[in-house]
Amino acid sequence: MSEAILTVAGLTKHFTVVKGFPRPVKTVVKAVDGVDFTVAAGEAFGLVGESGCGKSTVARAAMRLIEPDGGSVHFAGQDVRAARPRALIALRRRMQIVFQDPYSSLNPRRTIGRTLMEPLEVHGMARGAEARSQAAALMEEVGLPPAALDRYPHEFSGGQRQRIGIARALALQPELIVADEPVSALDVSVQAQVLLLLKELQRRRGLAFVFVSHDLSVIRWFCARVAVMYLGRIVEQGPVAEVFSRPRHPYTVMLRDASPIPDPSRRGVLPRVVGEIPSAAAPPPGCHFHPRCNRATDICRTEYPRFRTEAGHGVACHHPHDAA
Amino acid sequence: MNPFLKRMASNPTTSVGVVLCIAIVLAAVLAPYISPFDPLDQHIIDKLKPPSSTYWLGTDTYGRDVLSRVLWGARISLVVSVASISGALLVGGAIGMVSCYIGGRADLYIMQVMDVLLSFPSLILGLIVVALLGPEMINLIFAIGLTAVAPFARIARAPVLSMKERAFVEAGRALGFSHIRVLFVHILPNILSEVLVMATLWMATAVRTEASLSFIGLGVKPPIATWGGMMRDGFDAILDAPWLSVFPGIAILLLVLGLNMVGDGLRDATDPKLAG
C-alpha cells in the first residue's frame, strides 16, 4: 500500500435534537461514533451501509463541510481539523466532493461554463479565456461537448448533470474525491457510464476516492478496500474481495446476502432480513447489531466488541464468522 | 418572446395593472408639461368650481386646479413609495438573508427582533417616527421604509432556508468560496424574483401608508400637493364639493390597484408550479 493521503481516527459527530413543549427533551444522536480509516493515494475506499448509518456524515466531516465533534483527520500529513480558514481553503482545493443529487448540486441560474470557471477564478488558477479553455477541457474529460458550456443545468439529463458535477470537482486538480452516492440517483444504464468515467479518471489522474454507497455491487466493482458501517461505527473493514467473499461480521453477511449476484449457477435461498435499523438516537446497548443478529449471546447485549484486525481484515464482533 | 413575459401578458388582469402603473408613472414624470395649471397657483375668483371645460377636475378652496394637483401629487406618492420600499428591500432583505444563512441562535434573536417590529401596525409605527422626526419627505420615507423592513426580512429568509440546503451551496463551500460569495453570488439570484414580487405588493401598501399619514396631517407639508393631503383638505367640504376628495381618492385607488395587479401577475408568472 502506498502512502496514506487521508487518515481518519476516532471521528465523531453528534447531533443534538431538542424537542418537546413545555419541557424540551434533549436527545443526542451519535451519527458518527469513533470511526477510523485510512485511504492511500490513488486508492478507492468504499463506505457502505444502510441509509442512516452515518456514512455521508463521515464523508462530510472528513472535509469539514460538517464540523466534527471529536477525533482527528489528516490529509497528506496536514491536520484538517486544526486548519485555519485560509489553510482549510487550500486543503479543500485538494479534496473535492461529488454529490448524490445531480439536480440540486448545480446552481440553476448559472451556465455550465460559469460553474466550471468560477472555482478556477476564485483560486487564481486561471482567468477569462484561459479559464474557459480549461473548462472546455474539463467538459471533454467527462465526455460532454465543450459547446455545452453556455447552456443551463436544466437543459441536461441527470447523467449529464452528474458528469458536470464531476467536472466541477476536477477543476481544482484535487488528489482525493469524496463521492457521496454519486450514482444512486441515476438510471442503471447511466450508472454504469458514470462509474466507468470515475474509474477512468482514477486511473488517468491517480485520484484517491472515498466512495460512499449503499449498493454493494457498485462498491465491489469500484473500490479496492471497503468499510462497512452500522449505526455510526465501522463494523468490518478490509479488501473488497475479502470482505464480500468471506465476510466475518454477521451484518456484512446479511448485507451481502441481500445483494445477490445475478448468476443462475449460484442460485440459493434468499435469507430473511431481520428487523429494521434501530434509531441512532437510542442505539441498543452492547453491540448495536445484536437485536438483528442470529449469533448474539449475552455478552453482545452488554459489551460493544473491540475492533480487531488480522492481516488487513478487521471486524468488531464477539462471534465473527471464521476467517478464511 | 421571453416565456416569462408571455405568461405575464397572457393574464388580462396583469396587463391592466401594467397599463395603470405606466400611466401613473408617465403622469408623474410629465406633470410639468401636461398639467394645465401650476399646482400652487391660486385662482381665487374660480375657487370651489366644479369640474368644467377649463378646470377638468374642478378647483379647491384656494382656487387651485385639482387636476394639476393630482398629477403633481403622483410624484410624491411614487417617490415616497419607491424610495421607502427600495430601502426596506435592501436593509430587510440583507438582514433576512444573512440571519438565515448564519442560522442558529443569532438567527433566532434577529428574527425575534423583526417579529417585534412586525407586531406594530405600519400606520402606528409610521405615525410614531414622523411625530418624532417631523413631517419632512425624507422622514416619511424613513418611517414607511422602517415599517417594511421586518416583512422583507421574513420574505427574504424563507427562500434562503431552502436554498442553503441545496447541494450547490455545499459544493461552493467545498470549492473554497467565501460565505459572502456563496450568499450573494449563488443564493441571491435564486431568491430575487420572489423578493421582487413582494416588493411590488408592498409598494401598494407604502402608497396607502403615505396617503394615510398625509391625510392625518403627518405627510409632506402643504402647500405641496399630495393625494392624502388633498383628500383631507376636501373632507370638510365633502358634501358641497365632493370632487376635492373623490379625485385624489380615485388616484390612490388606481395606483394601489395597479400595483397589486402587477404584483399578483408577477407572483403567478414566477410560480414554477404554473410554468407550462
Q: Are the Cβ atoms of B171 and A108 closer than 8 angstroms?
A: no
- CB distance A280 to A27 below 8 Å: no
In this predicted structure, what is the pLDDT of residue A26?
Answer: 85
- CB distance A146 to A140 below 8 Å: yes
pLDDT digits (tens, 9 = 90+) for B111-123: 999 999 888 888 8
Cβ-based contacts of A165 with chain B (< 8 Å): 171
Query: Could you give the CA distance from residue B191 to residue B194 in angstroms, rounded to a whole number?
Result: 6
Query: Could you give the CA distance from residue A277 to residue A283 in angstroms, rounded to a whole number?
Result: 9
- CB distance B8 to B1 below 8 Å: no
Top-confidence residue, A279 or A206: A206
User: Per-residue confidence at B1, pLDDT binned at 50, 70, 90?
Assistant: low
Query: Could you give the CA distance from residue B133 to residue B76 in angstroms, rounded to a whole number?
Result: 19
Asked if B6 reaches chain A (Cβ–Cβ under 8 Å), the answer is no
Mean pLDDT of B212-225: 85
pLDDT > 60? residue B275: no
User: Per-residue confidence at B256, pLDDT binned at 50, 70, 90?
Assistant: very high
- CB distance B212 to B248 below 8 Å: no
Q: How far is CA A129 from CA A126, A173, B129, in A?
A: 8, 19, 54
Amino acid letter for position B169: V
How far apart are the CA of B199 and the nearest CA of chain A, in angstroms? Answer: 21
Asked if A118 reaches chain B (Cβ–Cβ under 8 Å), the answer is yes
User: Per-residue confidence at A284, pLDDT binned at 50, 70, 90?
Assistant: confident
Alpha helices in B103-136 (DSSP H): 104-119, 122-133
Query: Could you give the CA distance from residue B19 to residue A61 in angstroms, rounded to a whole number?
Result: 55
Average pLDDT, chain A: 88
Please report the ipTM that was assigned to this predicted complex: 0.82
Mean pLDDT of B212-217: 87
Top-confidence residue, B54 or A210: A210
User: Per-residue confidence at B160, pLDDT binned at 50, 70, 90?
Assistant: very high
User: Per-residue confidence at A269, pLDDT binned at 50, 70, 90?
Assistant: low
pLDDT digits (tens, 9 = 90+) for B21-70: 999 999 989 988 988 888 888 888 888 888 888 888 888 888 888 888 99
Of the candidates A30, A5, A34, the one whose C-alpha atom is nearest the C-alpha of residue A16 is A30
Cβ-based contacts of B166 with chain A (< 8 Å): 104-105
3-state SS, residue A35? strand
Cβ-based contacts of B174 with chain A (< 8 Å): 63, 65, 92, 96-97
pLDDT > 70? residue A252: yes
User: Per-residue confidence at B276, pLDDT binned at 50, 70, 90?
Assistant: very low
- In chain A, which among 57-76 make CB contacts under 8 A with chain B? 60, 63, 65
Angle at A145 (CA atoms; ends A144, A146), nearest 5 degrees: 115
How far apart are the CA of A107 and the nearest CA of chain B, in angstroms? Answer: 6
Mean pLDDT of B78-107: 92
Partners of residue A225 on adjacent β-strands: A45, A239
From A67-76, A92-101, A270-279, the region with the lowest mean pLDDT: A270-279
- CB distance B153 to B87 below 8 Å: no
> How do A4-19 and A70-75 pair as beta strands?
antiparallel
In the numeric block, which cell numbers belong to residue A307?
475492533
User: Per-residue confidence at A116, pLDDT binned at 50, 70, 90?
Assistant: very high
User: Per-residue confidence at A184, pLDDT binned at 50, 70, 90?
Assistant: confident
In this predicted structure, what is the pLDDT of residue A25?
Answer: 85
Asked if B272 reaches chain A (Cβ–Cβ under 8 Å), the answer is no
DSSP B186: I
Query: Could you give the CA distance from residue A268 to residue A277 in angstroms, rounded to a whole number?
Result: 25
pLDDT > 60? residue B91: yes
In this predicted structure, what is the pLDDT of residue A118?
Answer: 92
Give one word for A206, left, alpha or beta, with left for phi > 0 and alpha for psi -120 to 50: left
Q: How far is CA A8 from CA A34, A62, A76, A117, B276, in A?
A: 9, 7, 11, 31, 49
Query: Could you give the CA distance from residue B81 to residue B85 in angstroms, rounded to a whole number?
Result: 6
Query: Could you give the CA distance from residue B35 to residue B65 in angstroms, rounded to a whole number?
Result: 9
Give the percent of chain B with pLDDT over 70: 97
In the numeric block, which cell numbers belong to residue B256?
394601489
Find which of A16, A103, A105, A107 to mutate to test the B interface (most B CBs within 10 Å of its CB): A107
Query: Could you give the CA distance from residue B261 to residue B201 in angstroms, rounded to a whole number?
Result: 9
How far apart are the CA of A232 and the nearest CA of chain B, in angstroms? Answer: 22
Average pLDDT, chain B: 87
Q: Are the Cβ atoms of B174 and A165 closer than 8 angstroms?
A: no
pLDDT > 90? residue A51: no
- CB distance A219 to A211 below 8 Å: yes
Asked if A99 reaches chain B (Cβ–Cβ under 8 Å), the answer is yes
Find which of B105, B162, B170 to mutate to test the A interface (most A CBs within 10 Å of its CB): B170
Return the residue matching grid coordinates 500529513: A77
pLDDT > 50? residue A283: yes
Q: Are the Cβ atoms of A104 and B190 closer than 8 angstroms?
A: no
Query: How distant is the alpha carbon of residue B43 from its chain centre?
Result: 33
Partners of residue A226 on adjacent β-strands: A46, A238
Q: How far is CA B157 from CA A72, A306, B43, B151, in A?
A: 35, 47, 54, 10
In this predicted structure, what is the pLDDT of residue A272?
Answer: 63
Top-confidence residue, A244 or B1: A244
In the numeric block, which cell numbers belong to residue B179?
460565505
In this predicted structure, what is the pLDDT of residue A236?
Answer: 93
Smallest Cβ–Cβ distance between A92 and the set B174, B189, B190 belongs to: B174
In this predicted structure, what is the pLDDT of residue B253?
Answer: 94
- In chain B, which among 178-217 make CB contacts under 8 A with chain A? 181, 186, 189-190
How far apart are the CA of A87 and the nearest CA of chain B, in angstroms? Answer: 10
pLDDT digits (tens, 9 = 90+) for A154-166: 899 999 999 999 9
Q: Taking CA atoms, what residue in B is nearest to A169?
A: B175
> How do A78-79 and A70-75 pair as beta strands?
antiparallel
pLDDT digits (tens, 9 = 90+) for A68-97: 998 999 999 889 998 898 888 888 889 999
In this predicted structure, what is the pLDDT of residue A268?
Answer: 65
- The count of CB pairs under 8 A between chains A and B is 53
Query: Could you give the CA distance from residue B124 to residue B34 in angstroms, rounded to a whole number?
Result: 36
- CB distance A318 to A299 below 8 Å: yes
Residues 6+ positions from B61 with CB-CB distance below 8 Å: B47, B48, B233, B237, B244
pLDDT digits (tens, 9 = 90+) for B2-26: 777 777 778 888 889 999 999 999 9
Amino acid letter for position A211: F
Cβ-based contacts of B170 with chain A (< 8 Å): 60, 65, 97, 99
User: Per-residue confidence at B93, pLDDT binned at 50, 70, 90?
Assistant: very high
From A109-118, B22-31, B74-83, B260-269, the region with the lowest mean pLDDT: B260-269
Length of chain A, in residues: 324
Residues 6+ positions from A19 with CB-CB distance below 8 Å: A25, A27
- CB distance A235 to A320 below 8 Å: no
Q: Taking CA atoms, what residue in B is nearest to A108?
A: B190
In the numeric block, which cell numbers belong to residue B154?
421574513
Residues 6+ positions from A115 with CB-CB distance below 8 Å: A106, A107, A153, A164, A168
- CB distance A64 to A100 below 8 Å: no
Q: Are the Cβ atoms of A108 and B186 closer than 8 angstroms?
A: no
Q: How far is CA A16 from CA A26, A159, A281, A292, in A?
A: 7, 36, 9, 26
In this predicted structure, what is the pLDDT of residue A52?
Answer: 78
Q: Are the Cβ atoms of A122 and B176 closer than 8 angstroms?
A: yes
In this predicted structure, what is the pLDDT of residue A273?
Answer: 65
- Sign of the CA dihedral running A222, A224, A228, A229: negative
3-state SS, residue A18? strand
Asked if B171 reaches chain A (Cβ–Cβ under 8 Å), the answer is yes
